[in-house]
Structures are given as C-alpha cells and as structure tokens.
Amino acid sequence: MSQPITIVVLSTGLDNFKEIRTALSTDNRVQLLAGGNDAEQLYEEIIRLKPAAAITPASAVNQTIFFLSTIKSSIR
C-alpha cells in the first residue's frame, strides 16, 4: 500500500475546519496532519511536518497570500 497524501489546512474558523476534516477523513489515501486559522502557526507546522499539500480558503485572501509568500521565500 502506498503512503497517504499528507495535508495541512488553513481554515477560516472552527466550523470550516471541521467540514474540511470530515471531508478528508472519508478517504484513507489522505492524512490530515494539522489545521488552524493562524497562518504563521500553520507555517511552523509545515516546516516541522513537511506535508505534501496545504489547503487554504479562497475567502481568506490576506492570510492565503501571507501563507504562500512565506512558504515561497523559505524554499529559495
């Protein structure tokens, strides 16, 4: 069996995170490693856990831009 796709989630709130977590838990090929609504804290989790993917909400544009620019600058 292959390794699951590991994911972290930047959410807009607890309800949003719970919905995403529920959706991801239906597939055993996906493993949710961390989640939260603080982009800076989630960035630290990405550095520590090294997930394959990160999910960010389109509705939180400012946090998503910060999140992506921080990650981009750290991989240069």
pLDDT per residue over 20-31, tens digit each?
899 999 999 999
pLDDT per residue over 26-52, tens digit each?
999 999 999 988 888 888 898 899 999
**Going by C-beta distance under 8 Å and a sequence separation of 6 or more, which residues neighbour residue 19?**
none
- Of all helices (H) and strands (E), which one includes residue 54? strand 53-55
- Domain of residue 20: give its range: 5-74
At which residue do the structure tokens 């959706």 appear? 23
Neighbours of 56 (CB within 10 A): 19
- Helix %, strand %, coil % for the chain, to 5? 45, 20, 30
pTM for the complete prediction? 0.76
Domain count, the chain: 1
